[in-house]
Copies of this chain bind each other. A is one copy, B any other.
Amino acid sequence: MWIPIQINENSAEPLYHQIESQLKSLIVSGQIEEGTLLPSIREFASGLKCSVITVRRVYQDLENEGLLRTKQGTGTFVAKVSSQERDEYREAVVLKALEAAIDAAKSLNYDEEELIRLFMQIMEQRYKAT
């Protein structure tokens, strides 16, 4: 199983966090199905060119959140995500990001129209590409 994770070495965001949020997003959005066997820690680490400690932390954090399940001697699996959890996660993440953007704009004296125009412009660009 190949997991598409993009690591940005120059980002200030810690490695484990970059991996965690991307993997979480893949699981909650259903792009990795429930029950899927994830790569072993060593395999994943070697693929990402990072330490096994980092991957171990990712798996453990997501297991604590209930998104993964580890079976001794077998490996780590994607747990069942209820549709309610999925919806809550989706909404929380996007809401937070949008609010942050709008609040930043307000503090810089953007007016309503200017901001909507900019938003629409990016939307067009991003959703056209798909």
**Residue positions of A touching B, CB distance < 8 A:** 10, 14, 25, 28-30, 64, 69, 72, 89-90, 93-95, 97-110, 112, 115-116, 118-120, 122-123, 126-127, 130
Contacts and interface: CB of A to CB of B under 8 A. Distances in A.
Nearest to A127: B112
Contacts of A97: 97, 100-101, 104-105
Contacts of A104: 25, 93-94, 97
As for how many copies of this chain the complex holds, the number is 4
A21 to B, nearest CB: 9
A89 B105 CA distance: 11
A40 to B, nearest CB: 17
Contact of A107 (B25, B100, B122): B25
- Dominant secondary structure at the A interface: helix
Given A102-B126, A104-B97, A126-B103, A109 B29 contact: yes
A101 B94 contact: yes
Contacts of A10: 69
Contact of A14 (B69, B72, B118, B122): B72
Contacts of A72: 14
